[in-house]
């Protein structure tokens, strides 16, 4: 219900819009003191991931039904 409400109202709860971003060293041989050696890895909330999968499946189904995937 929450996914359908979010889509129909074109809104997403503000509390689920944030992510915890953690730095991850790109390669083990890079200098850990250099900030350019890291990449940001966002950890999204479960609700964000769920809504993303829900919307993806709806778009994919719509594209398949209407033959938008033409090779």
Q: Does the residue 38 lie in any domain?
A: yes
Q: Does the residue 9 lie in any domain?
A: no
Q: Does the residue 67 lie in any domain?
A: no
Please count the structural domains in the chain.
1
Q: Which residues of 28-52 are buried (b: 16+ CB within 10 A; e: fewer)?
A: eeeeeeeeebeeeeeeeeebbeebe
What global pTM score does this model have?
Answer: 0.60
Q: Does the residue 68 lie in any domain?
A: no
Owner of token pair 């890079």: 30
Q: Does the residue 34 lie in any domain?
A: yes
Structural domain boundaries enclosing 41:
20-61
Q: For residue 18, what pLDDT band results from cuts at 50, 70 and 90?
A: confident
Q: What does the pLDDT read at residue 26?
A: 95
């Amino acid at each position: 219900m929450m996914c359908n409400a979010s889509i129909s109202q074109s809104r997403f709860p503000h509390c689920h819009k944030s992510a915890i971003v953690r730095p991850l060293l790109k390669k083990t041989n890079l200098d850990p003191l250099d900030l350019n050696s890291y990449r940001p890895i966002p950890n999204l909330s479960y609700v964000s991931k769920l809504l993303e999968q829900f919307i993806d499946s709806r778009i994919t189904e719509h594209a398949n039904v209407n033959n938008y995937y033409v090779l």
